[in-house]
Amino acid sequence: MENKKITSALISVFDKSNLKPLIKELVHNDVTLYSTGGTKNFIQDLGYEVLAVEDLTGYPSILGGRVKTLHPKIFGGILKRSNNENDSIEMEKFQIPSFDLVVVDLYPFEKTVAENASETDIIEKIDIGGIALIRAAAKNFNNVFCISDKDDYANFISLYKKSKGAPSLKERKEYSIKAFHISSNYDTAIFNHFNKDQNRLKLSISNAKVLRYGENPHQKGYFYGSFSDLLDQINGKEISYNNLLDIDSAINLMLEFYQGSPAFGIFKHNNACGFAVRDKLNEAFLASLDGDPISAFGGVLISNKIIDLITATEINKLFFEVLIAPGYDSKALELLKVKKNRIILVQKENSQSNQVLRSCLNGILVQDKDLKTDKKNDLKYVTKKSPLPNETEDLLFASKICKHTKSNTIVLAKNKQLIGSGTGQTSRVDALNQAIKKAKNFGFDLKNAVMASDAFFPFPDCVEIANSEGINSVIQPGGSIKDNLSVDYCDANEMSMVLTGIRHFKH
């Protein structure tokens, strides 16, 4: 049936928001209303007539409200096929009314879990009748219109008026698809709350955004997630696929520095090309820019402090794609917003998922996120010479950046400034040579700089090269059967080395 006039509606919702205009529209068009419990009382309080489900089924709401609508006279009215003669005979025989519209939402299970409610309260928020009503109505979209989201009431009223009370089959099917999306997302949330078996994985993300394109213009791209839970966009063009990857990398690294002194980072292709910590934010920005002023062009910028006017004035001289900060002074924001395409983001929360997922072959790889930050107490001093206090600070600074840089990587730092990095190289020697070349290209003196590696040195070649350039302190995980070769070389050349015992590969 292409267009089907709505003459009767079953309405049973937990959340009564936005419901009044819908009820008013249905009553205005002489639609017979059926309802139960709180929704029935809501409709009656509006002054409208409504038939009680209990009167139809002959059963009251029982078991503390757990059973209200689970009855053949309800589900028969939803699942009846208008083109099936036997269905019509049975409907008449058992005096079952037809429902043309079903308006149902679900108990707020995810919200209850997020509130750290008791196990008893969480279980009581597992909807039984509601989920069954939604699935039944969505299944029978040929005959029934299903509304499962209060945010759709206004849209429904609009199409209801345009169709003169008889929505099309296409419209009924579109709403049924959303209903199945809501029901599957709900079941997944319940499963994931109770599931402790890591051999089973279920994903369901209710928010999706179509991006301009994927990594390249010929690829389609989508973002599934709640971007607005973490960030507010207050200026700029639409965020791209590549922007999102850089934003993710920037936020993950800055989490290592969020509570400390002013820090500023500049990112390109998911790696930090500039990063520095200083006593003042504008000094941190300038130092990060000095690290690689060429790569900074068109980059993603991030600060761990509110952007003030002095810092904004310096930032404004640079062409960049994205700026992320916990806030902005009013005059700083006014200046930065002069360029309308600049993406300016306010970071609202620091929390993110504790898991990392990525597609692989015909499946998904899942791992715990690398939440281990190398700290002073973790260091094992393996050389005769120990790093000086300022060198230890630089070593830990470099180690944090190294952890968030593509492997194989070597990071060079001095005075809490990234001065060179080798990223994504197939050998650690190549990574070191790349880092040294970058540092020299931008005029940095490597004497008394420090070196961080994401994995162990199988041979002493890297410390040999580092020593020849004036680098005198090294931090690395250790774990090679030939660790002693690098340690012995450091001892012979008055270099210091510390081991963390933790590898930080990032692929």
139 catalytic, yes or no? yes
First vs last Cα of the chain: how many Å apart?
54
* CA angle in degrees (0–180, nearest 5) for 145-92-84: 55
Counting Cβ atoms within 10 Å, is residue 159 exposed (0-12), middle (13-18) or buried (19+)? Answer: middle
CA dihedral 44, 49, 55, 57 (to 10 degrees): -100
Mapping DSSP to helix (H, G, I), strand (E, B) and coil, where does residue 476 land? strand
Torsions phi, psi of 439, nearest 5? -60, -45
Whole-angstrom distance, CA of residue 215 vs CA of residue 287:
30
Quote the tokens at residue 127. Answer: 């909807």
Contact 433, 422 (CB under 8 A): yes
71 in active site: no
| 491: Cα within 13 Å, side-chain hemisphere | 10
At a CB cut-off of 8 Å and minimum separation 6, what does 221 contact? 210, 211, 212, 213, 214, 215, 240, 241
Q: Residue 475, exposed/middle/buried by CB under 10 A (0-12, 13-18, 19+)?
A: buried
What Cα–Cα distance (Å) separates residue 419 from each residue in 125, 257, 396, 452?
54, 18, 15, 12
Determine which one of 73, 178, 269, 385 is catalytic. 269
Please list, in sequence order, all residues whose beta carbon lies within 8 angstroms of the beta carbon of residue 228, skipping any fewer than 6 positions away: none
Q: Which amino acid is at 367?
A: Q
Among 16, 73, 139, 440, the active-site one is: 139
Active site residues: 139, 269
